Amino acid sequence: MSREQRGPNEKLGTVLALAGISNAGLARRVNDLGAQRGLTLRYDKTSVARWVSKGMVPQGAAPHLIAAAIGQKLGRPVPLHEIGLADADPAPEVGLAFPRDVGQAVRSATELYRLDLAGRRAGSGGIWQSLAGSFAVSAYATPASRWLITPADSSVARETGSMEGSGAPLKVGHSDVQKLREAAEDARRWDSKYGGGDWRSSMVPECLRVEAAPLLLGSYSDEVGRALFGASAELTRLAGWMAFDTGQQEAAQRYYIQALRLARAAADVPLGGYVLASMSLQATYRGFGDEGVDLAQAALERNRGLATARTMSFFRLVEARAHARAGDAQAAGTALKAAEGWLERSREGDNDPTWLGFYGYDRFAADAAECYRDLKLPRQVRRFTEQALSKPTEEFVRSHGLRLVVSAVAELESGNLDAACEQGVRAVEVAGRISSARTAEYVKDLLHRLEPYGDEPRVVELRERARPLLMAMA
């Protein structure tokens, strides 16, 4: 179904020419993006010609998919108004802004919280389904540069009248902030143990909408406000991390940008660095190693002399991950050595942030193994995975599953098919206990690497064991 505008859509035609996309090419891209989200679309070059020459506007998710398809080719987000479709739902722009003004920052974050998040669940048709494929690493450029220039706002005190829908003004106190911090701590534990797709993890966006948003729109002193922004930033980063783990890259990107802006309002530079490190890991995971390096180095630059040794170690480790994905073995080795040095300097009594509780030698070893996997050095991978797998797994189940897959890849590249399949079976067993699209993707990659040995009974068995996992995440 389509509705007609007045005259040709010259904006769409201009951007298509700029991107070098033909009518048939755009139709194919839109259909493919729709199929990824469970939608059956049958657009062709004639459909696109109608959009451009007659100003026809496709219904439903199609305008967002058009913007996403063009954005993928241009390597940046494409707002609907740029392609003449601004009268459709403006959701593609929500969450991408990094306002200079604190009041506008509050509005930007709370607007994101209030979106229909039902689309995070497969087949439910919520807003993230419409935004499928709209991740663009270039959207991180402005937030990172503005945070580097000014990592803390001068004042965040806020006075308001009555809270909307209430008869009395909402005065925020430290007890309100503490509840958010406790929610963040609970969410971190659930996420590590059950994955970002577990139903308990999905309560984080609900907490942001129901609990955090009214507080951010309330009245608070500068002191309470800083704490409130910090707690909200932690929860928002967690929402982004969980979306990242479930494969919702477009949602994760928006949460991360808002989390960085809230961290700036909190004047919490290490937390801002942590958000940038999360952005870096996402960029690296998506194959943008160079941009991942930039984001990790931004976190490092502003935290020199501020963050604890353990925090600096983690930032250098994230930098090493990005260098390795970019194929720079020397830079990756230097960053790994620095990360290990910072970790050795850390002490039990250091004032490490609570959000860094997951990080120790086992996590260092696990990420070092992934660096050497990307650099195709299986002997080093095996050495570090042995260290990473030596820790009990009850608290960090997802991490253990990821490490088993990395270990299996190293065994395979070393010519040990039996050991690779053995580790793969263990990884599938762990992955079946959690809800993590990222873990399933690791298993899928392992199976792809095993395709040359597809007729081997051990490989056939592993593939059959993994089938339910991959079908569940499809």
- pLDDT tens across 406-419, in order? 999 999 999 999 99
Q: Is 141 exposed, middle or buried (0-12, 13-18, 19+ CB in 10 A)?
A: middle
Last residue of a domain, one of 42, 59, 93: 93
pLDDT digit string, tens, across residues 12-65:
999 999 999 999 999 999 888 777 655 678 899 999 999 999 888 887 667 878
CATH number at residue 54: 1.10.260
Task: Tell me: pLDDT of 117 over 90.
Answer: no
Torsion of CA 90, 93, 98, 99, to 10 degrees: -30
Do 225 and 170 meet the contact criterion of CB atoms below 8 Å apart?
no
Higher pLDDT, 388 or 145: 145
Looking at residue 120, what is its pLDDT?
39
Find the domain containing 88 and state its range: 2-93
Looking at residue 124, what is its pLDDT?
40
Number of domains in the chain: 2
Looking at residue 169, what is its pLDDT?
57
Sorting pLDDT into bands at 50, 70 and 90, what band is 103? very high
Tell me if 38 is assigned to some domain: yes
The pTM of this model reads 0.79
> How high does pLDDT run on average in the chain?
87
399: Cα separation from own chain's centroid: 16
CA distance 286 to 137: 9
Looking at residue 92, what is its pLDDT?
58
Higher pLDDT, 341 or 192: 341
CA distance 293 to 317: 11
Tell me if 350 is assigned to some domain: no
Tell me how many degrees the CA angle 308-310-311 measures, rounded to the nearest 5: 65
SS3 at position 199: coil
Do 119 and 127 meet the contact criterion of CB atoms below 8 Å apart?
yes
Last residue of a domain, one of 49, 74, 93: 93
CA distance 282 to 277: 9
Amino acid identity, position 258? Q
Give the position of tokens 């005259």: 7
Looking at residue 126, what is its pLDDT?
53
Lowest mean pLDDT among 53-57, 177-181, 286-290, 442-446: 53-57
Looking at residue 91, what is its pLDDT?
58
Tell me if 76 is assigned to some domain: yes
Do 295 and 144 meet the contact criterion of CB atoms below 8 Å apart?
yes
Q: In this structure, how many other beta carbons lie within 10 angstroms of the beta carbon of residue 425?
A: 16
Tell me if 424 is assigned to some domain: yes
pLDDT digit string, tens, across residues 235-256:
999 999 999 998 888 889 999 9
Q: In this structure, how many other beta carbons lie within 10 angstroms of the beta carbon of residue 89?
A: 14
Tell me if 43 is assigned to some domain: yes
Looking at residue 167, what is its pLDDT?
46
Torsion of CA 117, 120, 125, 130, to 10 degrees: 80
Task: Give residues with Cβ within 8 angstroms of 167, minimum separation 6.
Answer: none
Looking at residue 7, what is its pLDDT?
75
SS3 at position 40: coil
Tell me if 414 is assigned to some domain: yes
Tokens in use for 67?
Answer: 């913007």
Sorting pLDDT into bands at 50, 70 and 90, what band is 201? low
Angle of helix 361-374 relative to helix 329-345, nearest 10 degrees, comes to 180
Task: Tell me: pLDDT of 472 over 90.
Answer: no
Strand partners, 206: none
Q: How far apart are the first and last CA of the chain?
A: 28
In the chain, what is the greatest distance between 2 CA atoms, to the nearest angstrom? 71
Lowest mean pLDDT among 22-26, 112-116, 226-230, 318-322: 112-116
Task: Tell me: pLDDT of 119 over 50.
Answer: no
Last residue of a domain, one of 76, 93, 110: 93
Tell me if 278 is assigned to some domain: no
Tokens in use for 34?
Answer: 């729709």
Question: Which of 105, 438, 427 minimizes the C-alpha distance to 241?
Answer: 438
Tell me if 324 is assigned to some domain: no
CATH number at residue 392: 1.25.40
Higher pLDDT, 110 or 114: 110
CA distance 175 to 178: 5
Do 169 and 160 meet the contact criterion of CB atoms below 8 Å apart?
yes
